[in-house]
Structures are given as structure tokens and as C-alpha cells.
A and B are shown apart, each in its own frame.
Chain A
Amino acid sequence: KAGVTQTPRYLIKTRGQQVTLSCSPISGHRSVSWYQQTPGQGLQFLFEYFSETQRNKGNFPGRFSGRQFSNSRSEMNVSTLELGDSALYLCASSPPPQSGRGSYNEQFFGPGTRLTVL
């Protein structure tokens, strides 16, 4: 099975611009979560989509948005970029939950998109 893929891998933008990042989950995974990773704040949850609906949301401003398509692919958008948005943006997909072990807690991460805002 192919892993989680994210495009682009690297991106350089300037303040005020907007950006769209894409994530293709593992086949059969319907849950897609997005995380921001920075040296100062660590790994922070942005939002999760399941069956084209936002199921969970983190504490980020409204400039951060996302969506999920019927094929489970997801995009996230950041508008009016700020210098502090420079980060590694990680996407993770999860399989359907199984009884017993609770595999719902196992997330498979993509390689990330490194966004630099100048």
C-alpha cells in the first residue's frame, strides 16, 4: 500500500499571500488530520476531516481552513500568511477503528510540506 503523500514538499511564500497544501491518505483511510510542527510550539493539531466533514478542530485562527473530498483527499489553506506560519505541515490518515486494540489511535503521517514565509 502506498503511504500518505503530501504536495508540495517545499514552499516559499511571502507575507500576505495564501497557500494550499494537499494530502492524499492511504487507500481506505477516511480520517485525515493536519498538524503544524515548529521548533517552538512542537506538534499542534489543526483539524481532522472524516467523510468530507470537519470532525475536530484545534486552536488556530480562521485563516487556517481545510476540506476533504469524496475520495478522502484533503487540502488545507492558509490565507494572509504571517511569518509565524513558517512550519512543517503534516498530514496523517487513520484506518477505520478495530475492536480491542484500538487502532483508531494509530495515525500514519506523510512526509510533510515545509512552508517558509518571508
Chain B
Amino acid sequence: GQSLEQPSEVTAVEGAIVQINCTYQTSGFYGLSWYQQHDGGAPTFLSYNALDGLEETGRFSSFLSRSDSYGYLLLQELQMKDSASYFCAVLPGAAGNKLTFGGGTRVLVKP
């Protein structure tokens, strides 16, 4: 089976940097994704790591270490609109799109 652990909540101020960690245990692993979900909204794709290392997309970066079964999402220059829940997700197998999600981290950005 698969399980992913993330902190439940993080609070930070505008302009700060937040790192959301995700540790996983999975019997199969094809890549680690991150999704953002605002209250009342649908999850939207942020980033994907198939290989170890850092992927940068604007203010957001994601990191993966397969040897440590660990990844993180880095949110830089926080803005109020970044207040949302962030989910890590793994694709356990090569076939299909059966994503297994972590419990989500609620990020609250304060002025």
C-alpha cells in the first residue's frame, strides 16, 4: 500500500518562505506530485518530480529524494492568494493515473 505524511497546517506571513514536507511509504513509486486546492475549489497541479532533485516553477519549487522517501514543496515570496491546502501525491505504478494523496497541508498566509 501507500501512505504519505504531511504536516496538517502551516502559518506564515506575506513575503516569507514555507517548506511543506512529504514523507512517503509506497510499494511502488513513479513520481511525486503537488497539488493546490483553495477552499471550495478543485485541486490544481503545481509540480511533478520523477527524478531526484529540485524542480522550479516560478515562486514554487519541489524537491524529491527517493533514497530518503521524502519530498518537499517550497513556497517563496508568499502572497495572500497562496492561502490554500497543498497535497503531495504519488503515482504508484507505471500504468494509469491512480494517484494516492497525502492528507494535505493547510497554509495560512497572514499580512
Contact = CB atoms under 8 A, between A and B. Distances in A.
Interface of A: 4, 31, 33, 35, 42-45, 48, 50, 55-56, 58, 90, 92, 94, 101-112
A112 B42 contact: yes
A106 B45 contact: yes
Contacts of B96: 31, 48, 50, 55-56
Nearest to A59: B1
Grouping DSSP codes into helix (H, G, I), strand (E, B) and loop, the A interface class, with mixed when no group exceeds half, is strand
A1 to B, nearest CB: 15
Contact of A58 (B42, B45, B89, B98): B98
Grouping DSSP codes into helix (H, G, I), strand (E, B) and loop, the B interface class, with mixed when no group exceeds half, is loop
Interface stretch (B14-22, B69-77, B100-108): B100-108
Contacts of A55: 95-96
B12 interface: no
Given A45-B100, A48-B97, A105 B42 contact: no
Contact of B33 (A42, A56, A58, A105): A105
Interface of B: 30-31, 33, 41-45, 48, 50, 87, 89, 91, 93, 95-104
A110 B42 CA distance: 6
14 contacts: A35-B99, A44-B101, A50-B96, A56-B95, A56-B96, A56-B97, A90-B43, A101-B48, A105-B30, A105-B31, A105-B50, A105-B99, A107-B99, A111-B42
B45 A45 contact: no
